[in-house]
Amino acid sequence: MTDLVTRARALLDLHAAPEILVLTNVWDVASARVVAGTDGVRALATASHGIAATFGYEDGENIPLDLHLDMVGRIAAAVELPVSMDLEAGYGDPGGTTRRAIAAGAVGGNLEDQMKPLDEAVAAVEAVLRAGRDAGIDFVLNARTDALLRAGAGADRAELLAEAVRRGRAFLEVGAPVVFVPGLVAREEIETVVEGLGRNRLTLISVPGASLPARELQELGVARVSTGPYTQRVALTALQDAVVDMVGGGVLPPGTRTLT
């Protein structure tokens, strides 16, 4: 337990540091070891989409929780860095799922609000944080609001941003250290949400071809940026490209390295 306490404290401190925390999401032991062994990496996060896809499931709590947790446990045991788990929406029991995630070695996690009534969403956040306290660690909850992701076509962006801030503030008020707003990529909108939540309170996902560089997000006051399912897509894109070359009569990429 001492190790978990230390990892949790380290992960929490990384979110409050002036330097933005960059989390490359992993989906199995091999990807975790490669990322953890890269200079500059200070923590890891799992991707629910990536883990589910590894076992042939669609994202969205379709992978059995036992199987999901087993992979998270294997990842946490394979590295010495803090690991944050994508809890999705908590599998119907955010507190219980968090307790099991901590037992598997995770010291932080994402929790989706799925735009449930705010009192229900806040109660879920409180349940996760309580599970961390009961376990004796500062579980680092990345409280996610889907205010932008679940918006209908043509929705007023100003209203959506205001709702994201409203829900985010509610999560912060009950103890969540940071708020995750997927779907937020425009500089002006990021500035609006940072102003509403405070510096080092907002976390984002980096979207290929759309997001600002991490160094610019840091300047804007973003606490953390992660890669979500996109790192697995990077790996699979490279695999597919290599297969195309081989099937076409070529060779494997000459820059291929041994990674462990």
Look at residue 243 and tell me if it is in a domain.
Answer: no
Look at residue 131 and tell me if it is in a domain.
Answer: yes
Tokens representing residue 260 in the block: 């462990």
The predicted pLDDT at position 1 comes to 60
Look at residue 167 and tell me if it is in a domain.
Answer: yes
Report pLDDT digits (tens) over 104-153: 999 999 999 999 999 999 999 999 999 999 999 999 999 999 999 998 88
The predicted pLDDT at position 148 comes to 97
pLDDT-flagged residues of the chain (< 50): none
Please tell me the distance from the alpha carbon of residue 119 to that of residue 135, in angstroms, as a whole number.
24
The enclosing H or E element of 191 equals helix 187-197
Please tell me the distance from the alpha carbon of residue 219 to that of residue 250, in angstroms, as a whole number.
44
Q: What is the pTM of this model?
A: 0.95
Look at residue 87 and tell me if it is in a domain.
Answer: yes
DSSP single-letter state for residue 162 = H
Q: What is the CATH number of the domain that holds 75?
A: 3.20.20.60
Asked if 106 and 84 count as a contact pair (C-beta separation under 8 A), the reply is: yes
The predicted pLDDT at position 260 comes to 65
* Domains of the chain: total: 1
Look at residue 84 and tell me if it is in a domain.
Answer: yes
Mark 4-32 as b/e (b = at least 16 C-beta within 10 Å).
Answer: beebbebbbebbeeeebbbbbbbbbeebb
The predicted pLDDT at position 197 comes to 98
The predicted pLDDT at position 123 comes to 98
The predicted pLDDT at position 195 comes to 98
Amino acid at 29: V
Look at residue 252 and tell me if it is in a domain.
Answer: no
Look at residue 260 and tell me if it is in a domain.
Answer: no
Look at residue 101 and tell me if it is in a domain.
Answer: yes
Domain assignment of residue 180, given as a range: 2-234
Mark 180-204 as b/e (b = at least 16 C-beta within 10 Å).
Answer: bbbbbbeeebbebbbebbeebbbbb
